[in-house]
Structure 1
Amino acid sequence: MPSIKNSTVLVIGGSSGIGYGVAEKALAEHAKVHIASSNASRVRESTETLQEKFPEEHISGHLCDLADSGVERNLELLLTTIGPLDHIVFTAGDRLSIQPLDSIDLEAIHRAGHIRFAVPLLLAKLAPRFLKPGYGSSITLTTGSGSQKPYPNWSLITGYLTGLHGMVRNLALDLKPTRVNLVSPGVVATPLWGPAGVSDEMKNSTALRKAGTIEEVSEAYLYLMKDTNATGSCVSTNAGSLLL
């Protein structure tokens, strides 16, 4: 399988969680890595930590606000600053909008899909100007196991999560020969769960009775960067949660 050594990789959402894990693995394979997030202190701390761990490798951090209405302009500035890219990974997200159906309104619907659905689509619109041409380049987006399994009170967010499957398949056609793929994690032990970590209830909702680790799940993104035969596809890593 092709190496990503000396490839230039941008991880949007790379200052923590799965994105940080992807950046760490890419550096370990001697890629040139850029991470982007809207949290200045977290970007700085994560960049410094990764540089200390990989002193011989290239790592840089960038601020990019995905939440405001000028997000397309912010993305364009980020991509222009970095220059030609081999791979873009999008792991950014906000808290899942889980609420009873009778409590939602139009504003809530728009807000729920802004970062997880609208921003990746705008990123894909801009990407051809900044990705090196050919099937060696890729975009990898992120959904979740809720896209394939219904849960109570998930109607608001599930439409967007499921929609990413369709978006990726169509982007693979619209952006060919650039490859576009999707990773669908289940429950992953990230800082979002707080000091107590993933609850036993959540672990017991999977066939393996465990949560995924960042190290395990981030491997899926590295695979999709390397497999130049994969496009329009989804790698699911969910401890068997879809089987129950």
Structure 2
Amino acid sequence: MKIIVKNIFIILFSFFILSCSAQSKESFKAKEIYKSNSLIITQISENAFIHTSFKQTNDFGNVPCNGLIVKDKNETIVFDTPTNDKGSEELIQWINEKLHAKINAVIPTHFHDDSLGGLLAFHKKNIPSYSYVKTIELAKENNFVIPENSFNDSAILKVGDKDVVARYFGEGHTKDNAVGYFPSEHILFGGCLLKELEAGKGYLGDANVSAWSGTVGKVKKEYPDVKIVVPGHGDYGDARLLDYTITLFKSQ
């Protein structure tokens, strides 16, 4: 009888521990963990952080611009740089000193300065950069800092023991807009290809509006299990950002 009671206790205790663990992962509460005049860092999961810098524009005012940091063990990978080198220097210092982590790579997802405007600061720290091949072509054409390594379709990099994916699905906000995916936490960095809920169409000077919905549709199909979606500007959310962007640019 004692053995049966003991076994029941062990089973119940194990179930309690597992359910608490699952609950804590599901109920992670995002929190702002760093803020200065030029940079905000928000932790959105156990191993992912949004970095937000700012770009002054004529048409849209002082625009917040998002990038993503993903982490495993004492290593990180950064998607998109802050908008200038000063912001990038601040971000690199924060990752090194507060996360106690090295940066394995930086991945600008398109050629605009809200994606690679602070790239030189990463290069000066000998942090390698990777971009879709068209991003490198467009950076050269526009006399911007040029990413060092190119990929034709996708690249899979390692952060700690985890994979990080960068992939090009087609034209939209620009001809070269790629996305990033962190499979272990089902987090998609959509960059400027994706819009926050209720957003307008934004800057269309380099866009392919007719292709945009179809490109996002391919992203949605590739990552059906996505849980967190981070756009290039504004609030992050879930897969509804994909649906919203598809609807926003659908041909009337």
The interval holding the TM-score normalised by the smaller chain is 0.3 to 0.5
Of Structure 1 and Structure 2, the greater strand share is in: 2
Q: TM-score, normalised by structure 1?
A: 0.38
Of Structure 1 and Structure 2, the greater helix share is in: 1
Higher relative contact order (CA 8 A, sep 6+): 1
